[in-house]
Amino acid sequence: MFLNKVAGALLAVLLVLLALPTLSDIIFGKGGHHGGHHEEEAHSLNERFAASYAYYLPVEEGAGGAEVEEEVFDLGAMLAMASVEDGASSFRSKCSSCHNAEDPGVNGAGPALHDVVGRAFAAADGFGGYSGTLASMEGEWDYEALDAFLLNPRGYVNGTAMSFAGLRRDPERMNVIAYLASQSPNAPPFPAPLPAEEEMAAEVEVDVEAPQGEALEEAAEDLAEAGNDAAAAVAEEAAGLVEQVEDAADEAVEDATEAADEAVNGRRGPTNH
């Protein structure tokens, strides 16, 4: 009976001692979900306060942040660097079996491409072999349309009768367009290149208003003050809980000691003098 009491008391003491570190971590927020996880992933203002304080007031953050820079295809700049001579060479090797660009009104298996730049779709004189899709399209062969069509003919004109796969390499495609423009007396000028990033930044001024910045700073100060007060209250409450646990552990140790003494004295029996 006494041995059972001793074993139970020692087990209770052991459980209390083992629970102290875990209880302390939970109370003070070390490690676990509210510690290391946020320290690794906290990037925004709200996440930083959530990682530092038990309570915080969410701040409505702006949509700013790292923007993914998208590559812009500058058709005007590409055409400005194009070579008419190289375009003529590519046209002769890849297009001349079906098209004629030098002689007006001379059609082949495909329509004549002399003066094609700026011409309406499906409007070559004397050519009747256009696909129904192209014949029904409205618009003209401007530089953007020529670029899109020569890049992917079937993608631009679904059902086109032309079996050519297209010119995938940008420089070669620009050279061919420049050559077609040189054979088009009514061709408009090349589109202007896009402005440089510095010029665009100068044209579009981003004005961050001072009141917004001050409001954000005040909100951050309020958050810090509220977080400190909340942390102090939690720490005080946690200290009281830890003290209660320590008192319970001391009492358990005393009970275990008394039970052990009684068990030892009981087994020895009365002492004869």
| pLDDT at residue 170, rounded to an integer | 95
CB 178 within 8 A of CB 82: yes
Annotated domain spans of the chain: 75-183
| pLDDT at residue 37, rounded to an integer | 45
* pLDDT at residue 44 is higher than 60: no
φ, ψ at 195 (rounded to 5°):
-65, 150
| pTM reported for the whole predicted model | 0.50
| pLDDT at residue 201, rounded to an integer | 60
pLDDT tens by residue, 88-108:
999 999 999 999 999 998 999
pLDDT band at residue 247 using 50, 70 and 90 as cut-offs: confident
- What is the three-state SS of 10-61? HHHHHHHHHHHHHHHHHHHCCCCCCCHHHHHHCCCHHHHHHHHCCCCCCCCC
Domain 75-183 sits in CATH at 1.10.760.10
Tell me the three state secondary structure of residue 120.
strand
Of the chain, the end-to-end C-alpha distance in Å amounts to 28
